[in-house]
Amino acid sequence: MSHQIAKRWFSVDEFYRMAEAGILTADDRVELIEGEIIEMSPIGSRHAACVNRLNTLLSRQLGQAAIISIQNPIRIDDYSEPEPDAAVLKPREDFYAVDHPTPGDVLLVVEVADTSVEYDRKIKLPLYARASVPEVWLVNLPQATIEIYRQPLDGTYREIHLVKHGESLVSQVSPNLTLEAVDILG
């Protein structure tokens, strides 16, 4: 006899109520993806260093033309609020103090992956594409490459570029954003 297991999906509002009630704490490394609470991988030193480099490089190149958000939530919809490693956001006077950015505020998302490459490709990239995030970089630390995804359409990115050591990366979200892969990958 086979039993159907029922799943309970959570909304972003319920997710926050769990935090307010102490069910989730600040020490829990979790994000809400399509109604499911997903435990995020621990951040190793290589991953942290890459995020630190990205923060420095993006801040230098973009200055006050954008807000660089590091490991902070983006409210995709009522059931998803990922926390990408870096996001380039449209400037806003309140620095998103009133509410978290939504896809319309996002110029670029960067996910740094050491152990989560396949998860990021199969789960998070389609999520960002469905939300029409214009550009996503997947920094693939094991392969020492940066995958650039652009032109979201119907839950997928139509344009994919692979950037390796010794190559430059030019973003389409800002004409001033040109980086060397080695500066990101270390």
Residue 1 has what pLDDT?
58
Contacts of 95 (CB under 8 A, 6+ apart): 67
Contacts of 80 (CB under 8 A, 6+ apart): 12, 32, 33, 34, 35, 127
129 found inside a domain: yes
31 found inside a domain: no
135 found inside a domain: yes
Q: What is the dihedral of CA 120, 108, 10, 6, to 10 degrees?
A: -30
Structural domain including 135 reads 43-185
- Which one-letter DSSP state was computed for residue 87? E
Residue 106 has what pLDDT?
98
Number of domains in the chain: 1
33 found inside a domain: no
Residue 174 has what pLDDT?
80
150 found inside a domain: yes
25 found inside a domain: no
14 found inside a domain: no
Number of neighbours of residue 145 by Cβ within 10 angstroms: 17
**Measured between alpha carbons, how far is residue 39 from residues 142, 151, 178 in Å?**
21, 29, 33
The pair of three-digit structure tokens given for residue 20, joined into one six-digit string? 């307010």
List, run by run, the mean pLDDT of 10-residue segments along the chain (186 residues).
Answer: 78 92 89 92 93 97 94 97 97 96 98 94 97 98 97 96 95 86 96
12 found inside a domain: no
Domain at 100, CATH number: 3.90.1570.10
The pair of three-digit structure tokens given for residue 151, joined into one six-digit string? 């032109």
Find, among 116, 115, 95, 120, the residue nearest to 105 by Cα.
95
